[in-house]
């Protein structure tokens, strides 16, 4: 219960002024600009875009500055910003097979069309602090090589042999679920689950994905493919009457190949889990793919026994803006609530004391 409390205005104003002062830090150090954040803290920007569910690098960078680097606070700011804007419509589905690939790896095939392209990755780094970065020396120019062949999705190689399930196609003009317009209801369809996971908290999804690997809903996953790169955004504009190219965004995609399913009608085949995230975040895309597959447990006629398989548990707790709102609301005045609890505990204590006194009296009588 919330109570109207007055009298804090001056304190709140001064607290916000103090926040702005602390945000700036030591004024003898140059102030950071959103451009610097966008260019040099690009993965923080990617995370804020993905979980803020809004692709706009400049807004995300500014939000990170405003939030003093608190990424969940920045995500909150981005979510609030999007509510101020009208929606023009929905894009054509992104064609990730036409991605301009910056990185593309597969853990299932060594040699595959398009090859293993490492791209800009922390993998194989030694995780030793690089003190030369403190000095700000310019890095050497990256090497270049002639571009290779096209890189088709790895799962199409399995698909050719019928070894993996086909992705479900939608009926033409079937509505696409949108949890920003309709409250989430259960059971949730896969399109809604994927939307929820795509904007879900990276840490929460990581922990749940990890739990499936440790045996809480095991699916025996392989990384069929991870790809990161740029895709173009097509949009059918009503006023133009044709589809236009809005520009290019970067996304990370993960296709997880998981263990078999077969039936009386269908021969055993691999199943799939899918992850797609704004920007470069393999951890998030992989976690999403693990959980997407875990949430399909009932679809495959298996028992839901682990947290990652329980869609109500996963989808209701994945959103860090909702989660932080409810956890942090405990800071708000609960004075009347607490007074009621105080009254209750005092009453319980006086009843307890009265019972103790009665017992003491009975014991005393018995002893005499």
Partner 1 sequence: MTHASPSPGRADAEPVVVARRRAVMALTSRATEAELAAALDRVGRPAFDDIRAPQTGLVMLRGRTGGDGAPFNLGEATVTRSAVRLASGEVGIAYALGRDAAKVRLAAVLDALAQQDAPGLDEALAPVATRLAGQQDLAEARSAATRVDFFTLVRGED
- Compare residues 56 and 310 and give the one whose CB is closer to partner 1: 56
Closest listed residue to residue 37, CA positions, set 72, 63, 76, 73: 63
Phi, psi (degrees; rounded to nearest 5) at 289:
-65, -40
173 CB burial (10 A radius; 0-12, 13-18, 19+): exposed
User: Closest distance between partner 1 and the C-beta of residue 233, in Å?
Assistant: 6
Q: How far apart are the C-alpha atoms of 122 and 228, rounded to whole Å?
A: 14
Site for partner 1 in 138-177 (CB under 8 A): 142-148, 153, 155, 166-170, 174, 176-177
User: Closest distance between partner 1 and the C-beta of residue 140, in Å?
Assistant: 12
User: Closest distance between partner 1 and the C-beta of residue 120, in Å?
Assistant: 8
Question: Is residue 227 a contact partner of residue 308, using CB atoms and an 8 Å limit?
Answer: no
Q: How far apart are the C-alpha atoms of 274 and 194, rounded to whole Å?
A: 8
User: Closest distance between partner 1 and the C-beta of residue 16, in Å?
Assistant: 26
From the list 31, 35, 39, 245, which residue makes contact with partner 1 (rule: CB under 8 A)? 245
User: Closest distance between partner 1 and the C-beta of residue 135, in Å?
Assistant: 24
User: Closest distance between partner 1 and the C-beta of residue 10, in Å?
Assistant: 36
- How many residues touch partner 1 (CB under 8 A)? 80
3-class secondary-structure state, position 41: coil
Site membership for partner 1, residue 62 (CB under 8 A): no
Q: How far apart are the C-alpha atoms of 280 and 45, rounded to whole Å?
A: 10
Please list, in sequence order, all residues whose beta carbon lies within 8 angstroms of the beta carbon of residue 185, skipping any fewer than 6 positions away. Answer: none
User: Closest distance between partner 1 and the C-beta of residue 264, in Å?
Assistant: 24
User: Closest distance between partner 1 and the C-beta of residue 122, in Å?
Assistant: 13
Site membership for partner 1, residue 65 (CB under 8 A): no
Q: How far apart are the C-alpha atoms of 231 and 227, rounded to whole Å?
A: 11
Please list, in sequence order, all residues whose beta carbon lies within 8 angstroms of the beta carbon of residue 55, skipping any fewer than 6 positions away. Answer: 49, 249, 278
From the list 116, 259, 316, 324, which residue makes contact with partner 1 (rule: CB under 8 A)? 116
From the list 27, 86, 136, 183, which residue makes contact with partner 1 (rule: CB under 8 A)? 86
Site membership for partner 1, residue 125 (CB under 8 A): no
Site membership for partner 1, residue 237 (CB under 8 A): yes
Q: What angle do CA 175, 192, 219 make, to 5 degrees?
A: 130
Which DSSP helix (H) or strand (E) runs through 346? helix 335-367
Q: How far apart are the C-alpha atoms of 115 and 151, rounded to whole Å?
A: 7
User: Closest distance between partner 1 and the C-beta of residue 75, in Å?
Assistant: 12
Which DSSP helix (H) or strand (E) runs through 35? helix 34-40
Contact map string, positions 198 to 227, toward partner 1, x by CB under 8 A: xx----------------------------
From the list 201, 202, 253, 282, which residue makes contact with partner 1 (rule: CB under 8 A)? 253
Site membership for partner 1, residue 246 (CB under 8 A): yes
What is the per-residue burial (b if ≥16 Cβ within 10 Å, else e) of 194-216?
A: bbbbbbbbbebbbebbebbeeee
Site membership for partner 1, residue 93 (CB under 8 A): yes
Site membership for partner 1, residue 59 (CB under 8 A): yes
Closest listed residue to residue 320, CA positions, set 189, 181, 207, 187: 207
Contacting range for partner 1; rule: CB under 8 A; set: 5-13, 50-58, 125-133, 298-306: 50-58
From the list 13, 31, 35, 58, which residue makes contact with partner 1 (rule: CB under 8 A)? 58
From the list 115, 218, 317, 334, which residue makes contact with partner 1 (rule: CB under 8 A)? 115
From the list 23, 55, 218, 283, which residue makes contact with partner 1 (rule: CB under 8 A)? 55
């Amino acid at each position: 219960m919330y109570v109207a409390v007055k009298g804090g205005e001056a304190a709140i104003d001064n607290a916000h002024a103090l926040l702005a002062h602390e945000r700036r830090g030591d004024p003898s150090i140059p102030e950071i600009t959103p451009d610097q954040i966008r260019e040099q803290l690009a993965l923080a920007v990617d995370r804020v875009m993905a979980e803020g569910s809004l692709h706009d690098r400049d807004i995300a960078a500014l939000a990170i500055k405003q939030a003093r680097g608190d990424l969940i606070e920045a995500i909150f700011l981005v979510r609030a910003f999007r509510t101020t804007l009208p929606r023009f419509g929905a894009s054509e589905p992104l064609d990730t097979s036409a991605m301009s690939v910056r990185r593309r790896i597969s853990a299932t095939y060594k040699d595959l069309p398009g090859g293993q392209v490492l791209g800009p990755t922390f993998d194989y780094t030694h995780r030793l602090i690089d003190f030369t970065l403190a000095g700000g020396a310019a890095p050497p120019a990256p090497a270049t090589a002639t571009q290779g062949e096209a890189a088709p999705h790895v799962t199409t190689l399995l698909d050719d042999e019928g070894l993996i399930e086909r992705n479900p196609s939608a009926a033409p003009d079937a509505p696409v679920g949108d949890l920003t317009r309709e409250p989430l209801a259960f059971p949730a369809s896969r399109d809604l689950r994927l939307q929820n996971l795509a904007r879900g908290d990276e840490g929460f999804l990581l922990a749940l994905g990890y739990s499936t690997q440790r045996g809480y809903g095991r699916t025996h996953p392989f990384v069929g493919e991870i790809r990161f790169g740029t895709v173009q955004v097509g949009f059918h504009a009503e006023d133009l009457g044709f589809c236009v190219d809005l520009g290019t965004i970067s996304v990370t995609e993960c296709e997880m190949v998981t263990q078999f399913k077969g039936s009386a009608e269908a021969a055993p085949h691999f199943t799939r889990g899918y992850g797609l995230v704004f920007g470069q975040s393999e951890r998030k895309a992989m976690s999403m793919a693990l959980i997407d597959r875990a949430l399909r447990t009932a679809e495959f006629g298996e028992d839901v026994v682990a947290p990652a398989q329980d869609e109500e548990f996963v989808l209701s707790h994945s959103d860090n803006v909702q989660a932080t709102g409810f956890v942090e609301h405990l800071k708000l005045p609960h004075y009347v609530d607490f007074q009621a609890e105080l009254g209750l505990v005092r009453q319980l204590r006086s009843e307890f004391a009265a019972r103790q006194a009665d017992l003491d009296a009975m014991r005393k009588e018995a002893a005499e």
